[in-house]
Amino acid sequence: MSRPSTGPFASPAAKAATRTLRKQPLQRRAKATIEAIQEAALQVLRDVGYERMTTTRVAERAGVSVGTLYQYYTDKEALARALVVAYVLRAERAMKAVLEEDTDLHTLARHFVRRFIAFKLQLDHDEALHTTFLSGAGREIVNAATASVVATLAQRIRASRPHWTSARVTEVANMWTTLVLGTTTSMLERQPDFVAEPWFAETLEQAVIALLPAGTRPAVD
């Protein structure tokens, strides 16, 4: 597990990742220990659920002492929060990697949709982690990461559509993200099996692409 950036340009999820730890790992061995604890915590969550998860169970599964676990996490709530943050950070990095691809916006839209659906399916199939996401803290982290992705998307749209006004760029970036995130989440709640079917991604791609007409004349606020 790499240490997230904590500088002024660190993402919200990266900053949250540092706040979940009582102390930051400086040595490779310490980073490996944190990785083992988080993996063990996820396994325990899957096996017995959050209510029955204890720091003792997690430490035993990770092969470390409870004292070692407490060096990094104050309690099981902090540990569960760390799992959410780690997941969001991976998702945020993956989505931003898509937005950095050297492709046109239409291709970018398709890749964005596919990558997000893949992450949502992974989360939906992991009920333990999904339950943790429903907490207020989890939603706060997700919202911050989403805002960061929207800002990156807006930069990409602005570079590709220089004749668009700032207002239009901002609105399209927000509509794009809301459409992909909201539709996928809603479908997972109503008809989860549909999300994995090709037609769902294809339909969502077309909807996003519809926001990106080539346009030859500057937009007017």
Question: How far, in Å, are 105, 137, 160, 171, 192 from residue 13 at the CA level?
Answer: 26, 12, 27, 23, 27
Looking at residue 128, its pLDDT comes to 59
Which positions of the chain have pLDDT values less than 70? Answer: 1-22, 25-26, 123-138, 214-221
Which pLDDT does position 69 carry in this prediction? 94
- Which pLDDT does position 183 carry in this prediction? 94
What is the reported pLDDT for 220? 41
Dihedral of alpha carbons 144, 14, 91, 155, sign: positive
For residue 194, the model assigns a pLDDT of: 94
**Residues 219, 165: contact at Cβ < 8 Å?**
yes
Do you know the residue count of the chain?
A: 221
Give Cα separations from 66 to 26, 50, 60, 69, 108 (angstroms): 20, 18, 8, 5, 46
Which domains, ranges and CATH numbers included, belong to the chain?
12-79 (1.10.10.60), 83-209 (1.10.357.10)
Entry pTM = 0.70
